[in-house]
Structure 1
Amino acid sequence: MVGGHRSRIRQSLLPLATTFWTYILLCLPRVCARNFTLRNEIRGDGFYDSFYWWNYGDPTHGTVDYVSKRESQSLNLSYVDSSTGNFVMRAEDASIASPSSSGRKSIRIHSIDKLQDGIVAMRVKHMPSGCGTWPAFWTCTTSNWPAGGEIDIVEGANDQGPRNLASLHTTAGCTIPAGNSSISTGFTGQTDCQYQPGCSESFSLSNSFGPAFNQNGGGWFVMVRDTSPVSSTSNERDLSSSTTTTTTRLPGPGISIYFYPSSTSSTDLPSFLSTNSTPPFVLTGLNATNPALGGRSGENWGRPAAFFPTTPTPALRAMGSSNTTDLAPSCPMDRYFGEHEIIINLTFCGYWAGETFPYVSTCPKNTTCDEYVRNNPRAFSEARWEIEKLLVYTDGASRIAAPPRIWTLGIGFLLACIIFHC
């Protein structure tokens, strides 16, 4: 009876002890890992269940006719490739678009589920290319844009970049540092995130967009949004050396966008992208190669292709950055970014592709973008998204720095485990 009683106590303590030590491990040594939990893994037909088809006018005034889900399937503009299982969404490439229509038929889809802080990772095998094209993979506010913000993960026009451009769009008051960052590999373009054109960083790799991306077999695009304020004792963030009891509210480091070409070795990928089975959670603090984003040994994320830091200045300094351009006051992102939906689309011409079309050396000079898109269907045989999978991780646990007194509790739990052999 005594043994059975002890066994029941041991069994009751085991889950609590396991939870506690998991928490301790997440909070070592200085900045707690952000625990993002898998919310959705979308492949093939799953896109039909996880997205709704936008079949309204184009907000960017493109030469495009966004079709419904039913029409996209009947016209074979969206389908699952039977040989690969990949989801394909493409432009119509067999007929001339009537001058009375809004433009060439194409696809724009929005996620049904909404997200805030989290990870959005998409393995793309092929992206739309061709003169007049303007493909994008992004997240956007469900409010009155630009209130709530927009994050452009993949975007470009007329096959030009030739590198991918990542951007933020916000209301007034959000800026990013000028110049090159020691944290990312990208190059800063615009620094004011307000409205249009927003703030931006261009990727350094030439195979991150357009034909070069497709010729290389595609790759992974990963966006990590870590902007919510967290609780931290002062000395845990090196904000003060005088006390361990004062609690301050700090934002997450910001918004990071990573690009991994298909040629990237599995040893150079974060483990959640390289494993055969998708893990149920991702700890973004385990980033040995990027201390400014919470680096510790364990994961190899590498440097992001674009990084948009939040404020205040000490948050990045405490997490390892010594570059003054990284530490400039910029944007309290938790105030500028709200609930978002994921959007994947292909439009034509419009504000960007239409305005730059005449200046692209590889595009025709004897016609306008609108005329070209309407009258040359065969020019859009490569205007398609081919997606292997989309992973969505959302906020699964609070991130809080562990004060010293927690070790007293830890010792207590450890002794209890020893006594009861848990």
Structure 2
Amino acid sequence: MLFTNLVSRLGSALTLGAAATHAAYTIQDSYDQTNFFQGFEFFGLPDPTNGFVRYQTAIEANAKSLAGLANDAVYLGVDYTTRNPVGGRGSVRVNSKKSYTTGLIIADIAHQPASQCGTWPAFWTVGQNWPFNGEVDIIEGVNLDTNSTYTLHTGPGCTFSQGDCSAPGIGCGTSSHDTQTFADGFNEIGGGIFAVEWTSSAINIFFFPRNGNIPQDIAAGQPNPSTWGKPQASFSGKGCDIPSHFKEHQIVFDTTMCGDWAGKAFSNDPVCASKAPSCQDFVAQNPEAFKESYWLINSVKVYSEGSATKYNGAIQRRFTA
């Protein structure tokens, strides 16, 4: 894998995106290998989900080759050489500097962290003042899961057919039931595209495998979700006023270890339980197991319908399990 560090890519921010005329959506921001590390920042605080992980700053991630460019894509990895790391295994969590309210987010991803005991990778969006400004989990799973789980988290008063989104540590969600959406199944087909359409009346999540029929309008930069067919998950209905519960979201990629979900589920998986007495023991003592625990991101594009509002700010906390 050809790897380039990110030192030269942490300079002043660029003007992102170019206007493209379309009846439904126009490009607002585009993040790829040319500007990703100007548009995203590193989260270097302790993991709010209590993982056995030490998130790296930009300087640390660069020095340890845990973030940069590889295979013409953005690489976000996990330390796979240090045995018994103090304070947790080194990993990367990044969030967009800008925040978005409604719109269309399209992520072209070539590789997700592979299926492995102890891991908890996620691609998600979240607002400040969690959970009252909402959270949308797009790619998420733990340990040896084979498909992504789509979940929303909110404050009180938001219910969809998938459940009560304010349920502590649970939210409202649904399984994709598609092994191509997560980990090994996703990587075996060379990845694919996830799209989240967020309007005042619905949050829809779509997935298009690389080996399938990716809509031509996405490749043309003129996405039209109304032509894409049924989404993998759709959250809508009178039980939740979306504008009241979802606002000013940043886009996040991370890989944590153990913690409130992967750690608790570790002993329930007979394969994982046979490897070590606990999740933390396995993660600490088997660095080589996490060589394939990396993201390769071709691009993340944000489209707006009309004039979407953008905000500056830094993501501070996440408490979901």
TM-score, normalised to structure 1, is 0.65
Q: Any idea what the Cα deviations from partners look like across 1:269-295, whole Å, max 9, x if unmatched?
A: 2x33233xx34xx454xx2xxxxxxxx
1:272 pairs with 2:217: yes
Give the aligned partner of residue 412 of structure 1: none
Q: 1:147 aligns with which of 132, 138, 141?
A: 132
Amino acid at match of 1:305: Q
Q: 1:105 aligns with which of 79, 90, 103?
A: 90
Give the aligned partner of residue 157 of structure 2: 173
Q: In 2, are the aligned partners of 1:128 and 1:135 still within 8 Å (CA)?
A: yes
Q: 1:360 aligns with which of 245, 269, 275?
A: 269
Paired positions, count = 285
Give the aligned partner of residue 377 of structure 1: 287
Structure with greater helix percent: 1
Partner Cα distance (2:25, 2:219) in 1: 17
Give the aligned partner of residue 85 of structure 1: 72
Identical-pair percentage: 32
1:163 pairs with 2:90: no
Q: In 2, are the aligned partners of 1:141 and 1:338 still within 8 Å (CA)?
A: yes
Q: 1:127 aligns with which of 97, 102, 112?
A: 112
Amino acid at match of 2:121: P
Q: In 2, are the aligned partners of 1:310 and 1:333 still within 8 Å (CA)?
A: no
The two structures, once aligned, show a CA RMSD in angstroms of 1.8
Give the aligned partner of residue 293 of structure 1: none
Q: In 2, are the aligned partners of 1:207 and 1:261 still within 8 Å (CA)?
A: yes
Q: Any idea what the Cα deviations from partners look like across 1:27-80, whole Å, max 9, x if unmatched?
A: xxxxxxxx3321111111411100010000101000000000111111110111
Q: In 2, are the aligned partners of 1:36 and 1:397 still within 8 Å (CA)?
A: no
Give the aligned partner of residue 406 of structure 1: none
3-state secondary structure, aligned to 1:105: strand
TM-score, normalised to structure 2, is 0.85
Partner Cα distance (2:189, 2:277) in 1: 31
Q: In 1, are the aligned partners of 2:106 and 2:194 still within 8 Å (CA)?
A: yes
Give the aligned partner of residue 193 of structure 2: 220
Q: Any idea what the Cα deviations from partners look like across 1:236-259, whole Å, max 9, x if unmatched?
A: xxxxxxxxxxxxxxxx2x100001
After superposition, where does 1:22-421 map in structure 2 within 5 Å? 35-81=24-70, 84-98=71-85, 101-129=86-114, 130-142=116-128, 144-160=129-145, 162-177=146-161, 188=162, 191-194=163-166, 195-227=168-200, 252=201, 254-266=202-214, 269=215, 271-275=216-220, 278-279=221-222, 282-284=223-225, 287=226, 299=227, 301-311=228-238, 330-365=239-274, 366-396=276-306
Q: What is the deviation of 1:393?
A: 1.1
Q: What is the deviation of 1:137?
A: 0.5
Amino acid at match of 1:256: N
Q: 1:222 to 1:264 in 2, by over 3 A?
A: same
3-state secondary structure, aligned to 1:212: helix
3-state secondary structure, aligned to 1:396: coil
Q: In 2, are the aligned partners of 1:45 and 1:80 still within 8 Å (CA)?
A: no
Larger Rg: 1
Q: In 2, are the aligned partners of 1:116 and 1:394 still within 8 Å (CA)?
A: no
Partner Cα distance (2:82, 2:28) in 1: 40
Q: In 1, are the aligned partners of 2:217 and 2:224 still within 8 Å (CA)?
A: no
Partner Cα distance (1:362, 1:47) in 2: 37
3-state secondary structure, aligned to 2:65: coil
Partner Cα distance (1:37, 1:377) in 2: 43
Q: 1:262 to 1:102 in 2, by over 3 A?
A: same
| Structure 1 stretches lacking a partner, 5+ long | 1-21, 27-34, 178-187, 228-251, 288-298, 312-329, 399-422
Q: What is the deviation of 1:120?
A: 0.9
Partner Cα distance (1:226, 1:391) in 2: 16
Q: Which is worse superposed, 51-60 or 208-217?
A: 208-217
Partner Cα distance (1:152, 1:310) in 2: 19
Q: Any idea what the Cα deviations from partners look like across 1:360-384, whole Å, max 9, x if unmatched?
A: 1332423200111111100001100
